[in-house]
Amino acid sequence: MRALFAILFCLLTLTAHAEGIRGIFFQPQQSDLAVPTERWAKIFSTAKDRGFNTIVIQWTSFGEVFTSPENRAWLKDRLMDASRADLKLIVGLDGDPDMFTRLKQPPSIVGSYFRKVNQVNVDLASKWAKTLPTNSISGWYLPLEVDDRQWREISARKELTKYLVRQVDDLQKVLPIPVYISSFFAGNMSPERYAAMLENMQAQSRIHFWIQDGSGTNKLMSAERDLYLSAVSNCAGYAATGFIYELFEQTQPDQVFAAKPLSPLEMSRALQQKSPCNGDNVFFALNYLVDFNNLK
């Protein structure tokens, strides 16, 4: 049975990449609940008209936001709106607002936390697999972001890798489709070491890494970012599954994160970017591409 799941996983992965993912993130927020219901069909059809074939829902659980029956029903309706717009769904699972704080604990405690996250994600995935139309889900997305600081120590990387192996295996039992996760860098590892870390995790767990290009957060200079992006774009060696291109400019520090959309000219240029090695082209995020409150 395990071998059958592995074969199905490989076939579906090849199919997804043959079609080519051009996706955009949708990050459901408390404020989105106030957007008129009838507007969402137009929002998603606009994404389709702009050439996207996939919506990546960053999370379908985030703290207390989607715990009430009303808010859960609202979220289901938004995913259905996206599906009706002929967009494939990569469904994000549990986004813990306290995740980065929890990950600063000793590795043994982090390991215990990961076991809880694993089960929460499996339960969420099982619910969506039963709720959404057959074949509308083309992948799962883990909201956990892998950076180049938290996982520098071998003991920490070991716990993360162990978690990814188990999480991918368990999600494959729900639906044999690819599992994605994003990663970002901020100059805390050398580009070569960063690429080697991701390559090792991907080889062991079969997770698919999308690399955030860092152009919006602007933590590093363009030339520095290019070194990291080149390190994970070796088509003859290790290449990440795709890139996430940021459609925003950060205007406030991380502690009080705020950002604004790119200018129309910058947006047009950003949307023309393509991942090397025929990788996935993913963009962040829908609310910067489309003004939810002033839809034209």
DSSP 177: -
* Composition of the chain by helix, strand, coil, percent to 5: 50, 20, 30
pLDDT at 180: 99
Q: Please tell me whether the overall predicted TM-score, pTM, comes out greater than 0.75 for this model.
A: yes
pLDDT at 182: 99
Measured distance CA(265)–CA(244) in Å, rounded:
19
Measured distance CA(189)–CA(198) in Å, rounded:
12
Contact in structure between 229 and 238 (CB atoms under 8 Å): no
pLDDT at 17: 47
Q: Which residues pair with 280 in a beta bridge?
A: 242
* Per-residue pLDDT in tens (0 to 9) along the chain, 296 residues: 444 444 444 544 444 445 689 999 999 999 999 999 999 999 999 999 999 999 999 999 999 999 999 999 999 999 999 999 999 999 999 999 999 999 999 999 999 999 999 999 999 999 999 999 989 999 999 999 999 999 999 999 999 999 999 999 999 999 999 999 999 999 999 999 999 999 999 999 999 999 999 999 999 999 999 999 999 999 999 999 999 999 999 998 887 789 999 999 999 999 999 999 999 999 999 999 999 998 87
Pick the CATH number of 2-289 from 3.20.20.80, 3.40.190.10, 2.60.40.10, 3.30.70.1880: 3.20.20.80
φ, ψ of residue 41 in degrees (nearest 5): -60, -40
Query: Who's near 51: CB < 8 A, 6+ residues apart?
Result: 22, 271
| CB-count exposure of residue 7 (10 Å: 0-12, 13-18, 19+) | exposed
DSSP 208: E
Q: Which residues pair with 25 in a beta bridge?
A: 56
φ, ψ of residue 67 in degrees (nearest 5): -90, -25
Q: Where are the domains of the chain?
A: 2-289
Collapsing DSSP to helix, strand or coil, 247 comes out as: coil
Report residue 159 CA to chain centroid gap.
Answer: 20
Q: Does the N-terminal peptide bond of residue 285 adopt cis geometry, omega within 30 degrees of 0?
A: yes
Query: Who's near 91: CB < 8 A, 6+ residues apart?
Result: 57, 60, 79, 125, 128, 132, 137, 139, 140, 141
Report residue 35 CA to chain centroid gap.
Answer: 23
> Beta strand 242-246 with 248-252: parallel, antiparallel or unpaired?
unpaired
Q: How wide is the angle at C-alpha 94 spanned by C-alphas 67 and 128, nearest 5°?
A: 75
pLDDT at 296: 72
